[in-house]
């Protein structure tokens, strides 16, 4: 079985009558007896990866500067590397050492941001305008960090316009 020991320190704060919230955290994880599934030729192979060190931090801020207007932003950084993964690929005669490689499927950073405005339109109806942007950093889809398995950073932008019953029972 896999084992993980994690240490985390942080703070959740609230300011200006809860109109501004700031949360910060730093973490360190020691992950042992990891099992990873990776594509080898035409089939997936389950491999014992040994160990990994995962460390990073997160920061989030949420603000309500005006009635109905909500702003949020978050950033996370993760440094996740295999610390004991000899023979991760290759043959028994020529094993490849993956110590120091990036952990499979873990982006090096994440970024989120949201702007939302909700106001009454009529006595029984509110309107909502919302925009979200998320970005994920580079990540590998293969344990040997083959350049062809690198998923480059990407971002997604979403928008939403809604009509909402003021009892929050329905939304269009």
Average pLDDT over residues 61-73: 97
What confidence category does residue 36 fall into, taking pLDDT thresholds of 50, 70 and 90?
Answer: confident
Average pLDDT over residues 70-94: 85
The pLDDT score that the predictor gives to residue 42 is 74
Beta-carbon contacts of residue 92 (< 8 Å; ≥ 6 apart): none
The pLDDT score that the predictor gives to residue 142 is 83
Using CA atoms, how far residue 98 sits from 85, 94, 121, 144, in Å, is 5, 13, 59, 6
CA angle 113, 114, 115 (to 5 degrees): 135
Using CA atoms, how far residue 171 sits from 120, 126, 158, 163, in Å, is 13, 9, 17, 6
Q: What is the largest CA-CA distance in the chain?
A: 76
The pLDDT score that the predictor gives to residue 129 is 98
pLDDT for residue 5 is more than 80: yes
Q: How far apart are CA 78 and CA 58, in angstroms?
A: 9
Residues in a beta bridge with 95 = 90
pLDDT tens-digit readout, 105-157: 999 999 999 999 999 998 889 999 999 999 999 999 888 888 988 999 999 99
Beta-carbon contacts of residue 24 (< 8 Å; ≥ 6 apart): 10, 11, 57, 58, 59, 60
Q: In the chain, what is the straight-line distance between the N-terminal and C-terminal CA atoms, in Å?
A: 46
Average pLDDT over residues 40-59: 84
Rg (CA), the chain: 22
Mean pLDDT for the chain?
91
Q: How far apart are CA 117 and CA 151, in angstroms?
A: 34
């Amino acid at each position: 079985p896999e084992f993980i020991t994690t240490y985390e320190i942080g703070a959740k704060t609230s300011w200006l009558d809860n109109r501004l919230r700031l949360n910060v955290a730093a973490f360190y994880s020691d992950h042992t007896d990891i099992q990873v599934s990776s594509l080898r030729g035409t089939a997936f192979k389950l491999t014992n990866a040994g160990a990994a060190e995962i460390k990073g931090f997160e920061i989030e801020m949420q603000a309500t500067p005006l009635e109905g207007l909500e702003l949020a932003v978050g950033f996370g950084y993760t440094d996740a590397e295999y610390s004991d993964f000899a023979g991760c690929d290759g043959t028994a005669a020529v094993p490849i050492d993956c110590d120091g490689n990036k952990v499979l499927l873990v982006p090096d950073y994440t970024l989120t941001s949201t702007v939302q405005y909700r106001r009454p339109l009529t006595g029984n109806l509110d309107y909502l305008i919302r925009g979200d942007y998320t970005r994920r950093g580079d990540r590998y889809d293969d344990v040997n960090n083959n350049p062809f398995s690198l998923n480059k950073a990407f971002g997604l932008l979403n928008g939403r316009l809604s009509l909402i019953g003021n009892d929050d029972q329905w939304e269009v």
